[in-house]
Structure 1
Amino acid sequence: MRLPPGVELPLSRQQLRSIGRATARINLWHGSVRSGKTVASLLAFVIAVATAGPSGLILICGRSLQTIERNVFEPLQDASLFGPLARHIHHTRGATTAVILGRTVHLIGASDVRAEGRLRGLTAQLAYVDEATLVPESFWTQLLARLSTSGARLLATTNPDSPRHWLRTGYLDRAHELNLRHWHFKLADNPSLTRQYVADLTAEYVGLWRRRMIDGAWVVAEGAVYDMWDEQQHVVDTLPPMLRYWAAADYGTTNPFAALILGLGADDRLYVVSEWRHDSKTAHRQMTDAQYSEAVRAWLRRLDVEPEWTFIDPSAASFQTQLWADGHPGVARADNEVKPGIRSVSSALSAGLLYVHASCTGLLGEIPGYSWDPVATAKGEDKPIKTADHSIDALRYVLHSTAHEWRHLLSGSGQGRTESLGQHLA
C-alpha cells in the first residue's frame, strides 16, 4: 500500500496490514497502550480523507474537544511523526472545525448521552472516533446511522474495557455478522518503542490495568479494587524525613469528611503521614465550611506541615472558596477521574512506592473492603462500591493529582521495590 507523501515512519506488519485493509464500514483498532494503533488508525484516516468524495461531512469524535486535540491533532501536527504531511493539518485550539488536506473536518465531543443530539440531521461519509469505549453507546449508534453516503466508513481506536462493554458485546463479538474489521495490537506492534520504555511502562500498570493496558485483554473487574494491598508490607510505624508534602480532602456533611497528608520521603518513597476525619453521625454534630477550614488548618499547624498543594473534590466548591478566603495556600481542584486515579494508587502500592502510617486508621479500615460493584460489572462498567470510601477518595485525589511528580519513581529505584512485591503483580 502507498502511504501519504513524506511519511517515512517505521511501521510494523500489523500497522501496515490494518492501514491497507481499513475499507469496511466499521474499522476498529484496539489493544494495549502505546502499541502503535493510534498512528496506524490516523494514517488510515488521512488516506481516507484524501480519497473521500465531495458529498457528506467528515467528522472526528471523542470524549471531549480537549481529548481530540491531544490524541488526534497533536500527533498529526508532529513533523517528527508525519513529516511534511503535518503541514497540511490545520487546527486552532478550541475550534470545532479543522482542515485536513484541504478538507473541512468537524469535531464533536461526546461526554454524555446528550451528545447524540449533535449528530441528528447531518449526513456523513467519514468519521474517526478516538477512545470509542468512552463515548456513550447512543452516540455511537447515532453516528453509524448518520454514515449514510455510499461507501461511508467509521474508523475508531480504543483501549480494552470490560468484556461486557457494549462495544465488545455488540460489535467485536459480532464482527462476523457485521461489515466490520478489527485489529488487536500489542506492545510488540510498535517498532518505535525501546526495551527500557516497555519495561518502564509495564511497571506502571498492575492487576486489572496491566491485563487491559499492557496485554490488551478485555477482562472483567472483580473483587477487591486494591488486591495488592498487604498490611504487613504497606503499613509503617515510623516515618523518614520528608522532603515535600501535599494534602487532599474528601468533603462530607452527613457523610464523613476525610483529609490526608502525603509526603515524599528522603528515601524516594511516598507516605500517607497523617489523617484527619470528622464523621457527623458518630460525633452527633455537623460542621460548617468555616469550621472544617479551621479544623484542617489547625491540624496542619499541630503537625508543622505546610503542603505545597491541597487538592479538594471539585464538587466541594463552597469549601474551596472558604479555604481561599481563609488564606490557605495552594488550594487546587483535585483530578477526580475515578479509574485513572485508581490506576495511580494501584501502581504506587504494587511498586512498593506507597506506604501508610499506622495512625491513619480511617484509611486503613477502608482499603481492605474497597471493592468493585458487581452490578455495574454485569453492565460492562468498572465502578467501585460507593461506601466507606472517604479516606480512599482523598488518597486517590492526592496520588493522581501529583502523579507527574512521582511517576518517574516507578522505574529505576522503584523497580527494585517492584521485585520485593512481585507476588502482587499478577
Structure 2
Amino acid sequence: MSKPNLDKIYTPKQQDIYRRCVNDDWFMLINHGAKRSGKTVLNNDLFIQELLHVRQIADKFRIDTPQYILAGATLGTIQQNILTELTNKYGIQFTFDKLNNFTLFGVYVIQCGHSTIGHLGKIRGMTAFGAYVNEGSLANPEVFDEIKSRCSGPGARMLTDTNPDNPEHWLLKDYIQNKDSSILSYGFELDDNTFLDERYRRNIKNTTPSGMFYDRNIKGLWVSGEGVVYQDFDKNVHTITRDELKEIKLDRYFAGLDWGYQHFGAIVVFGMDGEDNVYLIEEHAYQHKEIDFWVETARGIKARYGNIHFYCDSARPEYVMRFGKEKFKAINADKSVLSGIEAVATLIKQKRFYVLYDETSRFRDEIYKYAWNDKTGEPIKESDDVMDAIRYGIYTASKLKRLSLEKK
C-alpha cells in the first residue's frame, strides 16, 4: 500500500505502529490511552491482519481449523466496539453459531467475556493462535492470564487496547511497563488522532471534567484522583435561589436514593428543563430513620411531582421491594462509581447542573469534603451519602435515556 493511501487511512502514530507490527516479531501489542484517540480503530484493522496471518500459519502446519480468541468485557461490547465497526467499515457480515462464535478467513473465532472469573470456562484447555482483548483494563487478571496462556499455537500473538486506570493497575505494572522486547506498548492522547475535527477536539477538552478525568480521557495518563472529586463545582456558578427556580420551566423530575441508618440516608429530587439542564431541588437526608419514614417522604415527593422514578441503592433490596409495593416507580440504580461520577462531573463542567444551595444543607456539607482516595482510585467513603444519591439518580437516568434513544 502506498504512502498517500496510508495517510488517508491512518494517523502518523497509527502508521508507525502498523509498520512495526507487520515487520517485527512480537507477542503482545498494547495500545492504551485517551478515548477517541485511534487505538481501537487500529487494533480492529490489525485483528483482520492477524486472522489472515493465522490462516497462513495454519496452512503451513496443515491445520484445518485454527482457533482465535476475541475477548471483551461482555459480548455486547465486542459487538459494539469491534464487529459492528468492521461491518460498517468493510461490509463484513458475521455469521454466528449456537455458541456465539464465528469463522472468518478460515479461522474459528471464539468470543468470550473477560470481566469476571466466570468467563474462564469458555477458553480453558483450548489452543489459540492469537487473541484480541478489547478494554483490557476491565479484564479479570486471572482471565487475562488464561487468555495469554491459551495463545500457544505457532506464531500466536495478542492484541490489547484499553483506556487508562489507576497507576497501581496490574495491566500497567505487569505488562505496559514491562521492558521485555516481546511486548509492544503505545500510549495515545486525544491529539494523536489527527483525523478529529478541531472543533470537536476543542469542545471535548473544554467539557471534560478537570483533574483525573481530563488526565485520563484527554492526555491518556494512568492517574488516580487527587483532592476534591468535583473540582469544577463553583458556588457562584452552580447555585440558584428559590425565586430563580420559579422562573425556570421544569418538565421532568426524578429522584436518587441512598439508604442509610448509622450514616445518612438520602433522597434527592431533580428537575430538568427543556435543554436537559439538571436542578437539585429537594434534599432529604437523615440518620436513624426506618423504612416507614422514607415511604412517607416518598409519598410527599410523589404528591408534589407526580409518579416519578426513584433510582435506588440496591444494597437494601427489601426496601426497594417495599417502595414497589407502595406503588412507587422504584428501580435499582446503576452504581458504577467512576462512570457515575464522570456523568455528574461532566454536567458540572458544562454548567448544566444547579442546586438550591440554601435548602440543601447536607449537600453543602459534603460537596467540598467528597475527596479521592489516591491509593484506590475511588472516593473516600466519608461525606458521600448525598453525593451517592446524586450519582445514582443522574447516572441511571442518563443511561436509561441513552438506551431508550438507541432502541428508537
- Band the TM-score falls in, shorter-chain normalisation: 0.7 to 0.9
Q: Aligned pair in 2 of structure 1 residues 62, 391: CA closer, same or farther (>3 Å)?
A: same
Q: Distance in 2 between matches of 1:40 and 1:101?
A: 19
Q: Is the 8 A contact 1:246 1:307 kept in 2?
A: no
TM-score when normalising by structure 1: 0.81
Q: Is the 8 A contact 2:128 2:156 kept in 1?
A: yes
Q: Is the 8 A contact 2:307 2:328 kept in 1?
A: no
Q: Give the aligned CA root-mean-square deviation in angstroms.
A: 2.9
Deviation at 1:8, TM superposition (A): 11
Q: Which moved more, 1:250-259 or 1:204-213?
A: 250-259
Aligned to 1:21: 20
State whether structure 2 residue 277 is matched by structure 1 residue 269. Answer: yes
Q: Distance in 1 between matches of 2:102 and 2:315?
A: 33
- 1:124 aligns to what SS in structure 2? coil
After superposition, where does 1:10-409 map in structure 2 within 5 Å? Answer: 10-22=9-21, 23-52=25-54, 53-54=57-58, 56-78=66-88, 81-82=89-90, 84=91, 86-87=92-93, 89-91=94-96, 96-116=100-120, 118-174=122-178, 176-206=179-209, 207-238=211-242, 239=245, 240-241=247-248, 242-265=250-273, 269-280=277-288, 286-288=289-291, 291-301=293-303, 304-306=304-306, 308-329=308-329, 331-357=330-356, 358-376=358-376, 382-403=377-398
Q: Distance in 1 between matches of 2:215 and 2:335?
A: 23
What fraction of aligned residue pairs are identical, expressed as a percent? Answer: 26
Q: Distance in 1 between matches of 2:373 and 2:117?
A: 22
Q: Distance in 2 between matches of 1:394 and 1:101?
A: 50
Q: What are the superposed Cα offsets for residues 216-251 of structure 1, whole Å, 9 maximum, x if unpaired?
A: 122232222122233343333232422321211112
- 1:30 aligns to what SS in structure 2? strand
Aligned to 2:405: none
Q: Aligned pair in 2 of structure 1 residues 136, 267: CA closer, same or farther (>3 Å)?
A: closer
Q: Which moved more, 1:314-323 or 1:203-212?
A: 314-323
Q: Is the 8 A contact 2:67 2:107 kept in 1?
A: no
Q: What are the superposed Cα offsets for residues 91-139 of structure 1, whole Å, 9 maximum, x if unpaired?
A: 48x9532333343211111223454455432221110111111112222
Question: Could you list the runs of 5+ residues in structure 2 that have no partner in the other structure?
Answer: 403-408
The AA in structure 1 aligned to 2:381 is K
Q: What are the superposed Cα offsets for residues 307-354 of structure 1, whole Å, 9 maximum, x if unpaired?
A: 64321224443333322322224x333222110111111111122221
The AA in structure 2 aligned to 1:60 is L
Deviation at 1:295, TM superposition (A): 2.4
Q: Is the 8 A contact 1:271 1:355 kept in 2?
A: yes
Q: Distance in 1 between matches of 2:345 and 2:323?
A: 30
- 1:218 aligns to what SS in structure 2? coil
Q: Aligned pair in 2 of structure 1 residues 16, 91: CA closer, same or farther (>3 Å)?
A: farther
Question: Could you list the runs of 5+ residues in structure 1 that have no partner in the other structure?
Answer: 281-285, 377-381, 408-426
- 2:153 aligns to what SS in structure 1? coil
Q: Distance in 2 between matches of 1:204 and 1:277?
A: 30
Q: Distance in 2 between matches of 1:264 and 1:199?
A: 27
Q: Distance in 1 between matches of 2:42 and 2:176?
A: 19
- 1:123 aligns to what SS in structure 2? coil
Q: Distance in 1 between matches of 2:122 and 2:276?
A: 49
Deviation at 1:192, TM superposition (A): 4.1
Deviation at 1:167, TM superposition (A): 1.6
Q: What are the superposed Cα offsets for residues 185-242 of structure 1, whole Å, 9 maximum, x if unpaired?
A: 2334435422222233223422211111111122232222122233343333232422
TM-score when normalising by structure 2: 0.85
Q: Aligned pair in 2 of structure 1 residues 360, 91: CA closer, same or farther (>3 Å)?
A: farther
The AA in structure 2 aligned to 1:393 is D
Q: Distance in 1 between matches of 2:7 and 2:107?
A: 23
The AA in structure 2 aligned to 1:90 is T
The AA in structure 2 aligned to 1:259 is I
Aligned length in residues: 384
Q: Distance in 1 between matches of 2:200 and 2:399?
A: 17
Q: Which moved more, 1:242-251 or 1:153-162?
A: 242-251
The AA in structure 2 aligned to 1:39 is V
Q: Distance in 1 between matches of 2:148 and 2:396?
A: 37
The AA in structure 1 aligned to 2:18 is I
Q: Distance in 2 between matches of 1:112 and 1:252?
A: 29
Q: Is the 8 A contact 1:262 1:271 kept in 2?
A: yes
The AA in structure 2 aligned to 1:297 is R
Q: Is the 8 A contact 1:45 1:155 kept in 2?
A: yes
